[in-house]
Amino acid sequence: MSIQIQNVSKRFGTFQALQDISIDIQSGELIALLGPSGSGKTSLLRVIAGLETSDVGEIFFDGQSITNHHPKERNVGFVFQHYALFRHMTVFENVAYGLRVRPRKTRPSKAEIEAKVMELLRLVKLENFADRYPTQLSGGQRQRVALARALAVEPKVLLLDEPFGALDAKVRKELRRWLRKLHDDFHITSIFVTHDQEEALDVADRIVVMNNGKIEQIGSPDEVYTHPNSPFVYDFLGNVNLFKGRLHNGKLTHGEFAIDVPDSHAHTQDDAVGYVRPHDTQIEKTAVTGTVPVTVSHIHLLGPIVQIELRREDMDEFLEAELSKEHFHVLQLNVGDHVFVRPKQLKVFIPEDFSI
């Protein structure tokens, strides 16, 4: 089922929670809504579900407007952060619930319900837990029940609101694999809300980055991580080094150093900030044009990657570089070494690019 969200806005009193949101989601995509607390992720999910009405805008499922449809008519499955399982029902009954309450005409037979529930419990590896109650399960197991329950009614769209938010890091990782697998097996279209960058980068086909009720960027994990189109997305999606300076004659300059900037800024004269990810921050042993003198202040060996913390000598700031282990051994770096940093892929923003 494809989903088109067209120019959706929503106010709560005078507060603008969503502002002109448009997203085209293809059938079968797994989309992450990513943003800080209060950015409007949950509000958007609730509008898509029909639990909240938008003030302006329309939503289409497979080209049909469902803007005024009741949540029950939208054929969506939900999973929430706080396992909204029925406490007085067993795991089996929880998963069967959506099928049992169907109108008589479309309700499957008892045997069909049993077969379907057991198949779903096998998929989430809980077939031996069918008779347990939710209180007898771990948090991760409860969320797997919640996933199975949402999928039981064969929704075309699966909406998940911080589904793994309350769980510890290891369980979260495991559950997002489950989500990806079930999403693929069921050929469903899924949208999940998260404020965890790593989670979004790890499982989503595309990420919608939200800030202050607006979309900052939509793109594949690689696009939003490697080519952010705003300072906000750079900051929110990972570690980043900043080079503050002034644009002049096609260069970003600060004191002694001058770095070439992309053509789009060749004629700009303004204060500016250059952004670069640690893995695009190169270390040189000798000074060449466009390098900044630094001192190695920390070396973190993280398996195949080596993270180097560097102190800028011309100002009281730290930078970070990420090297492969092989490259690290070639460079033979030690704490205290004086080296030079060259930003590759520097993206320059001028004051008007910064949202307040």
Instruction: List the one residue from 5, 8, 17, 272 that touches ligand ATP (CB under 6 A).
Output: 17
Task: Tell whether the torsion through CA atoms of 64, 70, 75 and 77 is positive or negative.
Answer: positive
Q: What is the DSSP letter of 207?
A: E
User: Does residue 48 bind ligand ATP (CB under 6 A)?
Assistant: no
Rule CB under 6 A: is residue 12 a binding residue for ligand ATP?
yes
Of the two residues 199 and 320, which places its CB atom closer to ligand ATP in the complex? 199
| 38 contributes a contact to ligand ATP by CB under 6 A | yes
* Integer CA distances (angstroms), 280 to 275, 325, 343, 349, in order: 10, 15, 6, 17
Q: Does 28 participate in binding ligand ATP (rule CB under 6 A)? A: no
**What's the closest the beta carbon of residue 58 comes to ligand ATP, in angstroms?**
19
Return the residues of window 141-200 that contact ligand ATP according to CB under 6 A.
195
Looking at the Cβ atoms of 55 and 270, the one nearer to ligand ATP is 55
Strand partners, 282: 342
Spatial CA neighbour of 124 closest among 159, 105, 154, 150 = 150
Among the candidate windows 32-40, 134-142, 182-190, 260-268, which touches ligand ATP by CB under 6 A? 32-40
State the Cα–Cα distance between residues 147 and 194, nearest whole angstrom.
Answer: 16
Q: How many CA atoms lie within 13 A of 61 on its CB side?
A: 20
| Token couple for 43 | 């509000």
Expressed in angstroms, the distance from the first to the final Cα of the chain is 36
CB-nearer residue toward ligand ATP: 74 or 195:
195
Check binding of 15 to ligand ATP (CB under 6 A). Answer: yes
Among 5, 8, 34, 41, binds ligand ATP (CB under 6 A): 41
Residues that bind ligand ATP (CB under 6 A): 12, 15, 17, 35, 37-43, 195
